[in-house]
């Protein structure tokens, strides 16, 4: 336990949760080895602290430590960033450049948001893991590097493998040891401890009196689900530190800062492996009003028993057009009835039917257009609205020629 407390003090880790302690002890144990480590957990759970602990406690502690956010690197430049390039390898390559793997030689490289890495780069990464070899972009010369790889993701890589979005051999090569960070909702005993730390830090940084909570306010704090985890709690603490004038806050003082159930948007668990599905869900929920309208139209026509047996005169094109419209509406209702399947809680059936009856690409392209128009072409804001990474949005824009 003494070793655990030393780790918490050195890296400013706050919390007494058993789940958190297990993660820290596992990190301390694997640090003494050279094996690869895969860190998983929801966004905002503090996955970035584990690689620092492993590197600092390892024999490589005097070597470089380089952290790379794979989700922030455009797909077209990923290989160049990781493995370097030669002069003239592509337009704008006016000089040769070392990549992160070359810079991290004899040290540790931390690959964050690994699930956003293109499959072509995954093959290069697998070669580094297997024999420490890589080739710069635009070169044919094999180079060696001695690095320890630690990766992190909030994606379910097993599902990504089943969808052919992540290499199976790379997954098993990286996942020698997995450390899963628990979400904040499973660390109720740590919520108030973290709140106090954030309140103290914000007070010292901005030279204002520190806020504190009554027992009722603490209970309300613990009841919240915290989908954004530690990051959301920190933002919440800083917000009420500024807005609220009182320094001892009660339950009534803070309850209006939480989103109400009625006004809360529908939130899907973050999983970049299913970014296309999430976009489709958004489209379908926007169309739910159309479902009711179409059903009313169908019901009104079904009450007329003669509409389906009406003998059409060849010259009465208008009546034929109306019947065609009715049939078209029936088809559309058949497609949109999959929304009802979603409400019944059978997502597998829902997905199969959608693939048969809906054009995913058309709806996906339309919703991306709406997001880009809404935020006047700002990809970072549009990506946040869609619930996908900026790199994924960049790839979709290129794919649809938007």
Tokens of 377: 């072409």
Query: 27 and 130 share a domain?
Result: yes
Which tens digit of pLDDT belongs to each residue from 258-311?
876 444 444 444 444 444 555 665 566 566 656 766 666 666 666 554 444 443
The torsion angles phi and psi of 103, rounded to 5 degrees, stand at -70, -30
Query: 395 and 301 share a domain?
Result: yes
Q: Which residue has the higher pLDDT, 167 or 328?
A: 167
Q: Is position 354 within any domain? A: yes
CATH number at residue 28: 3.40.50.300
CA 101 to CA 89: how far, in whole Å? Answer: 18
Per-residue pLDDT at 355: 46
Query: 35 and 176 share a domain?
Result: yes
C-alpha dihedral sign at 265, 267, 273, 277: negative
Q: Is position 95 within any domain? A: yes
Query: 205 and 281 share a domain?
Result: no
Q: Is position 377 within any domain? A: yes
Tally of structural domains, the chain:
3
Query: 75 and 201 share a domain?
Result: no
Boundary residue ending a domain (182, 214, 247): 182
Query: 361 and 237 share a domain?
Result: no
CATH number at residue 248: 1.10.8.60
Tell me the mean pLDDT in the region 1-27: 92
C-alpha closest to that of 154 among 38, 248, 250: 38
Q: Is position 119 within any domain? A: yes
Query: 224 and 348 share a domain?
Result: no
Kindly report the pTM of this predicted structure. 0.64
Which tens digit of pLDDT belongs to each residue from 316-333?
444 445 555 555 555 555
Per-residue pLDDT at 132: 93
Q: Is position 114 within any domain? A: yes
Tokens of 296: 């009313």
Q: Is position 262 within any domain? A: no
Query: 388 and 370 share a domain?
Result: yes
Which of the four pLDDT bands, split at 50, 70 and 90, describes residue 362?
confident
Question: How many residues are given for the chain?
Answer: 402
In Å, the largest CA–CA distance within the chain is 92
C-alpha closest to that of 188 among 18, 345, 329: 18
Q: Is position 266 within any domain? A: no
Which tens digit of pLDDT belongs to each residue from 196-252?
999 999 999 999 999 999 999 999 999 999 999 999 999 999 999 999 999 999 999
CA 28 to CA 204: how far, in whole Å? Answer: 31
Query: 302 and 362 share a domain?
Result: yes
Query: 20 and 165 share a domain?
Result: yes
CB 126 within 8 A of CB 118: no
SS (H, E, C) the chain: CHHHHHHHHHHCCCCCCHHHHHHHHHHHHHHCCCCCEEEECCCCCCCCHHHHHHHHCCCCCCCCEEEEEHHHCCHHHHHHHHHCECCCCCCCCCCCECCHHHHCCCCEEEEECHHHCCHHHHHHHHHHHHHCEEECECCCCEEECCCEEEEEECCCHHHHHHCCCCCHHHHHHHCCEEEECCCHHHCHHHHHHHHHHHHHHHHHHHCCCCCEECHHHHHHHHHCCCCCHHHHHHHHHHHHHHHCCCCEECHHHHHCCCCCCCCCCCCCCCCHHHHHHHHHHHHHHHCHHHHHHHHHHHHHHHCCCCCCCCCCCCCCHHHHHHHHHHHHHHHHHHHHCHHHHHHCCCHHHHHHHHHHHCCHHHHHHHHHHHHHHHCCCCHHHHHHHHCCCHHHHHHHHHHHCC
Query: 117 and 224 share a domain?
Result: no
CA 18 to CA 189: how far, in whole Å? Answer: 10
Per-residue pLDDT at 135: 93
Query: 169 and 60 share a domain?
Result: yes
CA 383 to CA 368: how far, in whole Å? Answer: 9
Domain range enclosing 374: 272-400
CB 177 within 8 A of CB 213: no
Q: Is position 139 within any domain? A: yes
């Amino acid at each position: 336990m003494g070793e655990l407390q030393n780790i918490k003090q050195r890296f400013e880790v706050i919390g007494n949760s058993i789940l958190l302690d297990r993660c820290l002890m596992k990190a301390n144990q694997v640090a003494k080895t050279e094996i690869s480590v895969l860190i998983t957990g929801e966004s905002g759970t503090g996955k970035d602290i584990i690689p620092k602990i492993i590197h600092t406690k390892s024999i490589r502690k005097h070597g470089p430590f380089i952290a790379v956010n794979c989700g922030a690197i455009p797909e077209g430049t990923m290989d160049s960033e990781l493995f370097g390039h030669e002069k003239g390898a592509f337009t704008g390559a006016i000089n040769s450049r070392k990549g992160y793997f070359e810079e991290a030689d004899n040290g540790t490289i931390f690959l964050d948001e690994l699930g956003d890495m293109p499959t072509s780069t995954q093959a290069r990464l697998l070669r580094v893991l297997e024999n420490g070899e890589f080739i710069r972009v635009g070169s044919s010369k094999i180079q060696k590097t001695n690095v320890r790889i630690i990766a992190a993701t909030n994606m379910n890589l097993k599902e990504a493998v089943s969808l052919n979005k992540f290499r199976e051999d790379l997954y098993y090569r990286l996942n020698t040891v997995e450390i899963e960070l628990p979400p904040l909702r499973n660390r109720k005993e740590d919520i108030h401890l973290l709140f106090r730390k954030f309140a103290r830090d914000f007070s010292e940084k901005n030279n204002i009196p520190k806020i504190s909570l009554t027992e009722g306010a603490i209970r309300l704090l613990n009841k919240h689900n915290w989908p954004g985890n530690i990051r959301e709690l920190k933002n919440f603490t800083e917000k009420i530190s500024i807005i609220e004038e009182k320094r001892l806050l009660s339950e009534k003082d803070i309850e209006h800062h939480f989103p109400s159930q009625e006004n809360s948007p529908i939130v899907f668990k973050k999983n970049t492996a299913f970014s296309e599905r999430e976009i489709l869900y958004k489209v379908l929920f926007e169309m739910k009003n159309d479902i009711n309208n179409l059903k009313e139209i169908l019901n009104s026509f079904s009450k007329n028993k003669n509409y389906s047996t009406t003998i059409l005169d060849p010259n009465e094109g208008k009546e034929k057009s109306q019947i065609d419209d009715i049939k078209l509406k029936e088809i559309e209702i058949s497609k949109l009835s999959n929304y009802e399947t979603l409400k019944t809680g059978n997502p597998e059936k829902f997905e199969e039917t959608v693939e048969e009856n809906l054009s995913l690409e058309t709806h996906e392209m339309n919703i991306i257009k709406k997001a880009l128009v809404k935020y006047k072409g700002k990809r970072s804001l549009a990506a946040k609205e869609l619930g996908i990474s900026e790199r994924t949005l960049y790839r979709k824009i290129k794919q649809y020629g938007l």
